[in-house]
Chain A
Amino acid sequence: MRLPAIGPFREDFWRSPLRGPWLASLLSSALLPLVAVCAVTGFVSHWAYQPHLGGNAVFGGSAPGNGFDVYGLDWPTSPAWLYVATQGLHVVSGLAAIPVLLAKLWAVIPKLFENPPVRSAAHALERLSLVLLVGGSLFVFSTGVINIQVWYPFGFSFVPAHYYGAIVMLAALCLHVGLKLPVMSAAFRQRGVMRPLREDLQHTRPEAGLPGVVTSAPHAPAAPTLTRRALLGGVGAASAGLAVMTTGQVVGRPLAELALLAPRGRGRGDAPNDFPINKTFSAANIPREKVGPDWRLLLHVADERRAVLTREELLAMDHVTAELPIACVEGWSTTQTWTGVRLADLARLAGVPDPTAVEVRSMQPRGGLRSATLGRGQVTHPEGMLALRVNGADLSLDHGYPARVIVPALPGVHCTKWVGKMVFA
């Protein structure tokens, strides 16, 4: 059934000579690896939170029927920059994909208005799957981009929605790739993969479309005002620009100077505690007297108290000093020199010479992520520590004074600050 041929439903409404299956295919070839890297690193980040341990699961947990919620493997501690790399890649590849995604949507948008709108049952189902693909992609990218800018207008919880939204997108993407591979290979056979990139403006011809396939190639093309090379170069430049500006907040100085529009790329001076904060002391709502001279670290095994330590006693113990990065799920990191007591030594003090896990609790009274459970690899690592000092000075209140956890490759939010209690197992 045809719709009346008015406005965008008219075949000659879409006039850009650059649109067509070749352009869509080339953009897809760039988009697919970016989305693949972004998806893999996203699932890796979920794994890095070790949702199978203690109360770590941000959603769901290990109850039966929770499907993809829990993987069950401990997260490695080496290399120390592992989470910097995976989460940096996640955010950088996601941002770099945005210009390509927008260009791809521009290239194929005539097909949104194809007429007749439905040619067969198969075509109707395929178009329904495109609602999931386009809606899922826009949903996942928009929530991710807004979340790294610390704005929460969604009204729903970000983590499960972003996570399961990605699975909706990826399911529809797998189908789309499977169905469109023949079109892509036909378009590349017809015009060559790179040949159209060599055409100057005089030789920029409209795409012809493919026999037997409804494509976005124009029926009444206008004269070109831009070469394909320039269009794709512009998209690539936008993508690379976003990537470089964001890499500045992943790796810090000296690239941080380029992170002009990255939310966490700002330097904070040169004093020992002048590095980015993820939650200020005032945001944690901890009463001031709890971090004063009366602060005590409680070491437990289950409900049984095994040791109580003052900060002076901790400072008098054997120390480890290590230069380690701490990386945020939002894709930024900072590397500092931390000094503290080995978690393994604290386990021994608690009477657990061979610890398998430790649950670290912050003194923060309310809110998510105020406790984290670390696995055997983390609690026994020689550089896994309860840090007391950073860069030769006491931790500042904003960085977790009196004591915080620092473990190689551990996601930043699991490096619990303002530690009050540790429960060993």
Chain B
Amino acid sequence: MRWFRGHYGAGPIHLLAVLATFAVAAYALSRALDLTGNPDRIVLWLGGSIVAHDLILFPVYALLGAIAAGAIVGSKPRSRLRIAVLNHLRVPALLSGLLLLVWFPLVADKGQRSFMRVSGLSKDVYFGRWLLITAVLFGGSALLFALRLRRLTR
């Protein structure tokens, strides 16, 4: 047992569990690839989604956040007021960005033709609605900030 741990890095149950997982996953993946005309597109989407999140979406929002934090509070945040400004900007920005991410096909009018064919409706109302929600988020955040201002500057 000690020999096994020393060479593998964990107990034998770990190895069995990992192998069982890979077996089920490989079976499911092979079914998915068998059942579609374009298996390479599935592999592309699977790998692409990791790249899209880990190497594009995350770095972009993290960098924007770091730039905003650097500009507003600096590297040693001491002022409660400045921290509040930062938070009252980044919370609505993140919520608005999340809505854009989730409802991107609606907001950006993607799949307009298929949507019209199935529902008889157009997608062109959603961009305006997203803008409106974004305005309400930032406006609401500004209002809350104004209400907190007296307490923060005391």
Given the contacts A122-B14, A261-B126, A152 and B111 also touching, CB distance less than 8 Å:
yes
Residues of the A chain whose Cβ atoms lie less than 8 Å from the Cβ of B103? 149, 261
Specify which chain B residues have a CB less than 8 angstroms from the CB of A260 in the assembled complex. Answer: 129, 132-133
Asked if B32 and A150 sit within 8 Å, CB to CB, the answer is no
Question: Of A68, A225, A266, which is within 8 A of B86 by CB?
Answer: A225
The SS class assigned to the B binding surface is helix
Complex-state Cα separation, A310 to B26, whole angstroms? 53
Output the least CB separation between B28 and chain A (Å). 4
Known A172-B21, A280-B120: A122·B8 in contact at CB below 8 Å: yes
Contact A157 B37, beta carbon cutoff 8 Å = yes
Is B150 close to A, CB under 8 A?
Answer: no
Q: Is A146 among interface residues, defined by CB-CB distance under 8 A?
A: yes
Contact at B46–A139, with CB atoms within 8 Å? yes
CA distance A77 to B31 in the complex (A): 31
**A234 CA / B88 CA spacing, docked (Å):** 12
Residue on A with the closest CB to B14? Answer: A122
User: Is A242 close to B, CB under 8 A?
Assistant: yes
| Known pairs A112-B54, A164-B35; A263 contacts B106 (CB<8 A) | yes
Pick the residue among A60, A121, A167 that contacts B7 (CB under 8 A). A121
Q: Is the CB of B111 within 8 A of A150?
A: yes
**A79 contacts the other chain (Cβ, under 8 Å)?**
no
How close is A318's CB to chain B, nearest CB, in angstroms? 33
A58-88 CB mask vs B (1 if < 8 Å, else 0) is 0110000011110000000000000000000
Beta-carbon contacts under 8 Å, B78-125 to A: 80, 83, 86-87, 91, 94-95, 98-99, 102-103, 105-107, 110-111, 114-115, 117-121, 125
CA distance A226 to B65 in the complex (A): 13
Where chain A touches its partner, the secondary structure class is helix
How far apart sit A281 and B105, CA to CA, in the bound complex (Å)?
A: 24
Q: Is A131 an interface residue (CB 8 A)?
A: yes
Q: Bin chain B's interface residue count.
A: 35 or more
Measured CA separation A135–B34 after assembly (Å): 19
**Cα of A66 to Cα of B5 in the assembled complex, Å:** 38
Knowing A160-B32, A222-B75, A261-B103, say if A99 contacts B46 (CB, 8 Å): no
Task: Tell whether, in the assembled complex, residue B42 and residue A156 are in contact, meaning their CB atoms are under 8 Å apart.
Answer: yes
CB distance from A280 to the nearest CB of B (A): 5
**What is the chain A residue whose CB lies nearest that of B50?**
A135
> Contact check: which of A59, A102, A129, A152 meets B22 at CB < 8 Å?
A129
Say yes or no for B41: interface residue by CB 8 A criterion.
yes
Q: Is B64 an interface residue (CB 8 A)?
A: no
- Also in contact, A161 and B87, with CB within 8 A (given A129-B22, A138-B49, A261-B99): no
**A325 close to B (CB within 8 Å):** no
Residues of B within 8 A of A191 (CB): none
Chain A 131-167 against B: per-residue CB contact (8 Å), 1 yes, 0 no? 1101110110011011001111111110011011101
Binding site for B on A (CB under 8 A): 59-60, 66-69, 95, 98-99, 102, 105-106, 109, 112, 119-123, 125-126, 128-129, 131-132, 134-136, 138-139, 142-143, 145-146, 149-157, 160-161, 163-165, 167-168, 171-172, 174-175, 178-179, 201, 222-226, 230, 234, 237-238, 241-242, 260-261, 263-264, 266, 276-280, 282-283, 398
A-B contact pairs, 23 of them (CB 8 A): A66-B31, A120-B10, A122-B14, A125-B18, A129-B21, A131-B50, A138-B49, A138-B50, A149-B103, A150-B118, A153-B111, A161-B36, A164-B29, A165-B42, A167-B25, A167-B28, A174-B21, A179-B17, A201-B80, A225-B69, A230-B87, A234-B91, A260-B133
